[in-house]
Amino acid sequence: MIALAGTIGAGKTSLTQLLADHLNSKAFYESVDDNKILPLFYKNPKKYGFLLQIYFLNKRIDEIKDSYDNDLNVLDRSIFEDALLFKLNADMGRATQTESDIYSSLLANMMEELPEQPHQKAPDLLITIQVSFETMLKRIEKRGRSYEQIANDPSLYSYYQNLNNRYRDWYAQYDESPKMLIDGDKYDFVEDPTAAQEVLKMVDRKLAELNLK
C-alpha cells in the first residue's frame, strides 16, 4: 500500500492517478465532490467539524481494507493525517478539545480493529508532497470549489497558512512507515509532464530501495 499526504492543493489526487497508472495498480480517492458534509463544514466548522472527521475516518478505514488486494495500490490521503487536521481545528476554536480527544481515541481503537498481518495498518510507503503557501493558494483558487475560496471567506487565509506550516512538522515527526518527500514546487508534476516523469523515477528508486518493486 502506498499513501499520499500533503496539504490542500498539494497535488495528491494527480500523483495518485500517475502512480496507479505507472504501477498498474488501483487508485483510491478521498471522498470530496460527493461529500455533502464538507461544504457545510466550511460554512459552520464548529457545528460540523466533528461530524466531518468521523465521515472521513469511516471512509479511510474502508479504503485501507479495500486496498489489501494489491500491494501497490495507492491511497490519495493517509489516515494518519486526520488527527493533524482535527487538532488544528481544535486549536483554532473550530472544534472543542473534548471532540479532538474523542476522535483521537476512536481513531486508535479503529486502527486496532483492522486485520492483523499480513495486512499492514500503516502504508508500505508514505509519499508527502510539500508545496509553498503561494502554490497552495493558487491551486485552491484554480480548482474553483466555492466553499474553499478565500474571496468568499477571508478567515480561510490564516487556516490555510497554519495548515501548510503544520504539515512540515507533521512529516518530520511521522514514523509509522518508510516515507519520502516530494518538492511540489520544484517538480510541478501537475502541469509539467517532464517533472511527472522525474517524480515517478524518484518513487521507483524508493520502492526498489524498500524491495517493494
Q: Is 172 exposed, middle or buried (0-12, 13-18, 19+ CB in 10 A)?
A: exposed
Please report how the helices 12-23 and 193-209 are oriented relative to each other, as an axis angle in degrees rounded to 10: 60
Reduced to 3 states (helix: H, G, I; strand: E, B; else coil), residue 126 is strand
Residue 181 vs residue 41, higher pLDDT: 181
Q: Map grid coordinates 487565509 to a residue.
A: 157
**Residue ranges of domains in the chain:** 2-209
* Superfamily of domain covering 2-209: P-loop containing nucleotide triphosphate hydrolases (3.40.50.300)
Cell triple for 117: 498481518
pLDDT of residue 138: 94
Which pLDDT belongs to residue 3? 93
More confident residue, 213 or 45: 45
Contact 54, 95 (CB under 8 A): no
Which of residues 72 and 138 earns the better pLDDT score? 138
Enumerate the active-site residues: 76
Q: What is the mean pLDDT of the chain?
A: 88
pTM equals 0.85
- Number of Cβ within 10 Å of residue 65's Cβ equals 12
